[in-house]
């Protein structure tokens, strides 16, 4: 079965697109720093939401500020702890 030059060009273009997509996916997986930042941001947002919910249950803005500060402190401590563990290894 012979292919025309135009069919071959089309196949090459498709192969390049697939290869480009694969390279992008691998690069995203290899970028550990960005993945860690995204995860930390997600955890921080979750903590803020939980602190807000707790503040609503317990009674208002001043308590919400304290709960938010505590949540932020916990996130920062977790990040520092992981960095310290990484430095030991």
In tens, the pLDDT along 11-51 reads 999 999 999 999 999 988 888 888 888 889 998 899 888 88
User: How far is residue 68's CA from residue 58's CA, in Å, rounded to a whole number?
Assistant: 13
pLDDT of residue 13: 95
pLDDT of residue 80: 86
Q: Around Cβ 71, how many Cβ atoms within 10 Å?
A: 20
pLDDT of residue 34: 85
Q: pTM above 0.75?
A: no
Q: Kindly report the average pLDDT of the chain as a whole number.
A: 84
Residue 5 pLDDT greater than 80, yes or no: yes
pLDDT of residue 89: 52
Task: Please classify residue 40 by burial: count the beta carbons closer than 10 Å to its beta carbon, then call 0-12 exposed, 13-18 middle and 19+ buried.
Answer: middle
More confident: 23 or 84? 23
């Amino acid at each position: 079965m012979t292919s025309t030059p135009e069919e071959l060009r089309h196949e090459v273009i498709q192969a390049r697109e697939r290869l480009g997509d694969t390279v992008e996916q691998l690069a995203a997986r290899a970028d550990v720093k960005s993945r860690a930042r995204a995860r930390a941001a997600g955890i921080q947002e979750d903590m803020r939401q939980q602190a807000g919910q707790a503040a609503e249950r317990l009674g208002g803005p001043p308590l919400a500020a304290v709960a938010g500060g505590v949540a932020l402190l916990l996130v920062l401590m977790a990040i520092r702890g992981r960095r310290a563990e990484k430095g030991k290894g």
